[in-house]
Amino acid sequence: MVSVIIPAFDEEKTIASVVVVARAHPQVAEVIVVDDGSTDNTAALAGAAGARVVSLKKNGGKAQAMEAGVESATNDVVLFLDADLIGLTHEHINRIIGPVMDGSRDMHVGIHARHSFWLNKLLRVFPIIGGERAVRVSLWQSVPAGYKKRFQIEIALNYFSKQAGRGMSFEIIRGLGRVIKEKKYGVLRGFIARLWMIGDIVAISFNLYIFKEIRKPFDILTAWIAS
């Protein structure tokens, strides 16, 4: 069985529909909504829809909410879902959890399809980011606390999934959408939120895939001298 974790901040318009679909899936044992300091009715609507709500006193960012959800989960596999999804179905859930539930991967990510054929091709080149991911709790716990920050957590999970175990995989999921930031918060605030997200991704990608890799030989040499 799977524990579904939904980090949510001011998502009263969509949270209930996501919870209802997730709860009805036969392999979902529980749905945990982590209310990340919302100022609207997100927590109340999530609870009314049947979720177990974990409320954080103030907004700490996506990674902190995900961590609180994992700490509350009772299963070895968790499925992270964004709270602003549109069009979620059981088939979408099946495809995302499948490679993890059958033991072939430690993480599988569902990437939202774009309308353009070429944009979908480009998705296979860019960093794998997306809130819809099935993850073994053991993989989550292998990520150092210092990398569990805001949107950086998604790149960190990608990186550490490739270091040991069964690795990760991804696929493009059609028919699943979300409310874009500019529509949710307004053009200016949404644009600023998007810039923060891009900044997080660039920072963690440089740290893990460039700086950390450059530093590896020196760390090995230091460990050898110390031994």
Residue 91: band (very low, low, confident or very high) from pLDDT cuts 50, 70, 90: very high
> Is 210 inside a domain boundary?
no
> Is 128 inside a domain boundary?
yes
> Is 101 inside a domain boundary?
yes
> Is 95 inside a domain boundary?
yes
Instruction: Find the domain containing 112 and state its range.
Output: 2-178
Residue 184: band (very low, low, confident or very high) from pLDDT cuts 50, 70, 90: low
Instruction: Return the CATH number at 11.
Output: 3.90.550.10
pLDDT of residue 201: 64
pLDDT at 223 over 60: no
pLDDT at 126 over 70: no
> Is 196 inside a domain boundary?
no
> Is 123 inside a domain boundary?
yes
pLDDT of residue 112: 84
> Is 186 inside a domain boundary?
no
Cα→Cα distances 53→13, 71, 77, 191, Å? 16, 13, 19, 29
Determine phi and psi for 126, rounding to 5 degrees. -75, 165
Total structural domains within the chain:
1
DSSP readout, 43-93?
A: HHHHHHTTPEEEEESS---HHHHHHHHHHH--SSEEEE--TTEES--HHHH
Which of these, 69, 84, 1, lies nearest to 36 by C-alpha position? Answer: 69
- Tell which phi-psi region holds residue 167, choosing left (phi > 0), alpha (psi between -120 and 50) or beta: left
> Is 67 inside a domain boundary?
yes
More confident residue, 123 or 188: 188
pLDDT of residue 154: 86
pLDDT of residue 82: 94
